[in-house]
Amino acid sequence: MATPLAATAFGQVTRLAAERRVHQAFRWLHLQEQAVFAWQQELVEIPAPPFGEGPRAEWLVQRFRERDLKDVGIDEAGNVIGRMPGVDESAGCVVLSAHIDTVFPAGTVIEPRVEGRRLHAPGACDNGAGVAGMLALATALREAELQPACDVYFAGNTGEEGDGDLRGMRHLYQHAPWRERIRTHIVLDGAGDNAAITHALASLRFRAVVRGPGGHAWTDAGSLNPILVLSRAITRLGEIVLPGSPRTTLNIGSMRGGTAINAIPEEAEASFDLRSTDPEQLIRLEVEVHRAVEDAVLSANLEMATRLAGQRSALHLAGQRLRFAVEKIGDRPGGRLPEDSRLMGLLLAVDRQLGLRTEPRVASTDANLPLSQGVPALTLGAGGQGGGIHTQAEWYDATNRELALRRVLLLLLAACEASCTE
């Protein structure tokens, strides 16, 4: 038997789905897929590496203005913001966002290739699909003259990928003048139409650096080698047995150092990504990272001191000592959308209306930030299919994109109505 809340949510969604202007918006989404696909292709041609999203932000500003959004601009964190006025502009507001940055570094060659309904390009799906979907929804609402019950803030945010550490979202929730009015936040990220990320996966990220005197591979042979010592720390971390439940992961994402094959490096650096559904596991792994690097360096320094004590003639090794630093470069908070929340009830009602079935998932997305602050939020796919995510072979197929966008549109309108009653 349906609960009163579920019955109310389904009745609300059924009513919205029957409205003439909602059907007009659906019709626009059905007829204008080629236009949406063209926007997506144009978007992904513009590089947007971490901390280099400016050109793509300028492109999105123009698209927002073409859709008659109000208060369009770029904030201090590089987020592109536009407001669609609601019937009740004094009520709470809803945020619909999609990150504009990609994981690919500056200098990555981007040459989009189209094959039928499939777009091949780095970032085509993550998050070309999300940004194109957001533009499609803003356009469908405008073309259908469909005014939401409350203000909707459209946000193309920065800092979701790489070392961005959710800087765009952090700025919105710390500095946006309308942040206290946010009642619901819907994130569009990637493809798909039957999943909802409702459990925000917490993560910690660290950069470890080991430094030494360096030298010539021949004349300074025997000098302490930062790459070798840092490798010992990494090997130790790789031997840690991680629990399957609660699921916990440790990834060494990069390692770099040195200048030439015949030079002993002066510096070595590695980055670590720690994730877990249990905060206590993250704390344990943080301790392990610090301990592994410190022990490797102290052990190497002790070995060198012992060697020098027994080899007085090795003058070029005198004063040899490694230094290290472990810096936290990312801290994504966790959170969870309650199963009995109003937003979850509305999503289930929308899926029932459209014949979909939600699959709750755990992941780290822009929704981490609002969920950690108690704001009802979730992350949805923007339709279609994608693959090769975070690789040069990334692709997006727009087939059935319309269904997912209908889903988001109905959820957005229902969430706006709910915001006016809270």
Domain CATH code at residue 227:
3.30.70.360
Last residue of a domain, one of 273, 299, 332: 332
Last residue of a domain, one of 304, 332, 360: 332
Instruction: Please tell me the total number of residues recorded for the chain in this structure.
Output: 422
What pLDDT is stored for residue 44 in this prediction? Answer: 98
What pLDDT is stored for residue 193 in this prediction? Answer: 95
Shared domain for 34 and 163, answered yes or no, is yes
Indicate the number of domains in the chain: 2
What pLDDT is stored for residue 46 in this prediction? Answer: 98
CA distances to 125, 256, 367 from 104, in Å: 13, 17, 21
Task: Check if the beta carbon of residue 148 is closer than 8 Å to that of residue 141.
Answer: yes
Shared domain for 9 and 65, answered yes or no, is yes
Shared domain for 388 and 314, answered yes or no, is no
- The CA distance from 417 to 422, in Å, is 9
Shared domain for 129 and 259, answered yes or no, is no
Last residue of a domain, one of 285, 301, 332: 332
Shared domain for 189 and 308, answered yes or no, is no
pTM: 0.92
What pLDDT is stored for residue 96 in this prediction? Answer: 98
Environment class of residue 296 by beta-carbon count within 10 Å: exposed (0-12), middle (13-18) or buried (19+)? buried
- The CA distance from 376 to 185, in Å, is 6
Shared domain for 206 and 279, answered yes or no, is yes
The per-residue pLDDT string of the chain (422 residues; one tens digit each, 9 = 90 and over) reads 345 556 699 999 999 999 999 999 999 999 999 999 999 999 999 999 999 999 999 999 999 999 999 999 999 999 999 999 999 988 999 999 999 999 999 999 999 999 999 999 999 999 999 999 999 999 999 999 999 999 999 999 999 998 899 999 999 999 999 999 999 999 999 999 999 999 999 999 999 999 999 999 999 898 999 999 999 999 999 999 999 999 999 999 999 999 999 999 999 999 999 999 999 999 999 999 999 999 999 999 999 888 877 665 555 566 689 999 999 999 999 999 999 999 999 999 999 999 999 899 999 999 999 999 999 999 999 999 999 999 999 999 999 999 999 999 999 999 999 998 87
Shared domain for 212 and 148, answered yes or no, is no
What pLDDT is stored for residue 273 in this prediction? Answer: 96
Shared domain for 187 and 94, answered yes or no, is yes
CA neighbor of 349 nearest in space, from 401, 417, 399: 417
What pLDDT is stored for residue 421 in this prediction? Answer: 81
Give the distance, in angstroms, between the CA of residue 421 and the centroid of all CA atoms in the same chain.
31
- The CA distance from 76 to 177, in Å, is 13
Shared domain for 285 and 221, answered yes or no, is yes
Task: Check if the beta carbon of residue 367 is closer than 8 Å to that of residue 173.
Answer: no
Which residue type occupies 6? A
What pLDDT is stored for residue 89 in this prediction? Answer: 87
Shared domain for 218 and 295, answered yes or no, is yes
CA max distance for the chain: 91
Residue 118's domain spans which residues? 4-201+334-419
Shared domain for 110 and 197, answered yes or no, is yes
Domain CATH code at residue 102:
3.40.630.10
What pLDDT is stored for residue 139 in this prediction? Answer: 98
Shared domain for 132 and 267, answered yes or no, is no
